[in-house]
Amino acid sequence: MPTWAEVVFLLCGIGFILALKGLSGPRTARVGNLIGAGAAVVAVALPFFYADLDHVLLILVAIAVGTAVGLVGAQRVQMTQMPQMVALFNGVGGGAAALVALLELREFAHLADVGVDVQAAYLVATAFTILVGAVSFSGSVVTFAKLQELMTSRPVVFPGLPVAFGAAFLAALVLSGLLVAEPVMWAGVLVGVLGLALGVLLVLPVGGADVPIVISLLNAFTGLTVAAGGYVLQNTVLLIAGTLVGASGTFLTLLMAGAMGRSVANILFGALKGGSTLGAGEASDRPVRSAGPDDVAILLGYAEKVIIVPGYGLAVAQAQHTLRELVELLVERGTTVDYAIHPVAGRMPGHMNVLLAEAQVPYEQLKEMDEINGEFKQTDVVLVVGANDVVNPAARTTPSAPIYGMPILDVDAARQVVFLKRSMRPGFAGIENDLLFEPTTTLLFGDAKDSLGKLLAALKAL
């Protein structure tokens, strides 16, 4: 590789760092995203200008197909489907890294056959990339299937699962050791197959609200495989990009686990001893207090302070624009309105922030859980739109609940709570929410977009 190409790759790596920095704030996120995308385009195009490439036509076709899929995904995928798209694209990255490592292993095997010694560090990195990349690919496919409801979102556990996982993991380690001792293709292929099995076995016991955290963990796995692949290929930009993804994914996983009040190990293996969130669940038949849009509009219209708690149901109903109009009307009437954002609300990190930004909600109105929890006691009305588990008092009061210990929004401290719900089915964690049955809680049943539209009309009529 010529020196000028190495310098350009290094500049692309710096571009990725600047992109990550830009994505850390809402005002700079768009510019950061453009910088990252531009650096990626340059990095992909660069080999055409310095390398003597084989199969150029196939490479161009692959780039064209990938570009088309990316454009369609960006334009057509709904906000509710964004988490599963992230999972799928992440898995493809891990799978690609594993395939590239297998191709490099073939070259190493050829060198060994002609008597050339291959450094053990390269073989270790190759085995790692094959194994972890395969885990990331198959695990991401299972998380995609769970979120897309192609399979149950509940934990899937069967007798002997821990034994099967342990045996596959041990076998993968042994074969990886053999691969490092002697680079042979059959060992690499078997390591990849075992990695696929490990990915499935790792994610099957994870259910309900724990699935998004596993997506973040698998994203970190993919980053580490890309970094290891960059080491094998001696490619600076892959090494930098993979390290950034691996580090940020790891931090994000730990932060999300902390927001759930649990350890990563408990999230991954809790179902084996009954400690995982369940997913699904039956609708409750306990009596609740409900009201119509006119009654709720009166509550909101005469409130001095209102807090909005958005959740996944808001995304499902695509009601963010109607909600923004309702809030703007309340502000015009002199009401103080804020949005309370829980770290794990929705189906992926930042889901609610992105959803509300799409509706052009001022970022200043969005407040994180730690910042706003002390304000609920002075709040007249809390309007919960599509959220459930993140406001469930069971996290504080019921030790047997799978979400026990999870920090929640202290909605139950407010003077009045209005829940917009489609039905009495539980949230993503699969457990009943006792807040629904409190005397200060009123339920407004129906589709969130339709209910908010009726609330808006009733409020205008006051």
The two three-digit tokens of residue 325, written as one number = 């109009």
**pTM across the whole model:** 0.80
Range 108-112 contact pairs with CB under 8 angstroms and sequence separation of 24 or more: 108/183, 109/183, 109/184, 109/185, 111/183, 112/182, 112/183
Average pLDDT along the chain, 462 residues, taken 10 residues at a time: 89 93 83 94 92 89 91 80 84 93 91 83 94 95 88 82 92 94 92 95 82 87 93 89 91 81 74 54 70 91 93 85 93 93 79 84 88 93 89 85 83 92 72 86 90 92 82
CATH class of 293-461: alpha beta
158 and 201 in contact (C-beta within 8 Å)?
A: no
Residue 400: per-residue pLDDT: 76
Which residue, among 437, 307, 456, 325, has the nearest Cα to 385 in the 3D structure? 307
Dist CA 121 CA 111 (whole Å): 15
Residue 340: per-residue pLDDT: 94
Which residue, among 364, 369, 320, has the nearest Cα to 345 in the 3D structure? 369
DSSP state of 386: B
Residue 357: per-residue pLDDT: 83
* CB-CB neighbours of 126 under 10 Å: 30
Dist CA 442 CA 448 (whole Å): 15
Residue 427: per-residue pLDDT: 67
CA 245, distance to chain mean position in Å, is: 13
Residue 363: per-residue pLDDT: 84
| Element holding 249 (H helix, E strand) | helix 236-260
Residue 434 annotated among the catalytic residues of the structure: no
Dist CA 346 CA 331 (whole Å): 26
Residue 285: per-residue pLDDT: 62
Provide the residue ranges of all domains of the chain, joining segments of one domain with +.
Answer: 77-273, 293-461
Q: Which of 210, 389, 410, 412 is catalytic?
A: 389
Residue 92: per-residue pLDDT: 92
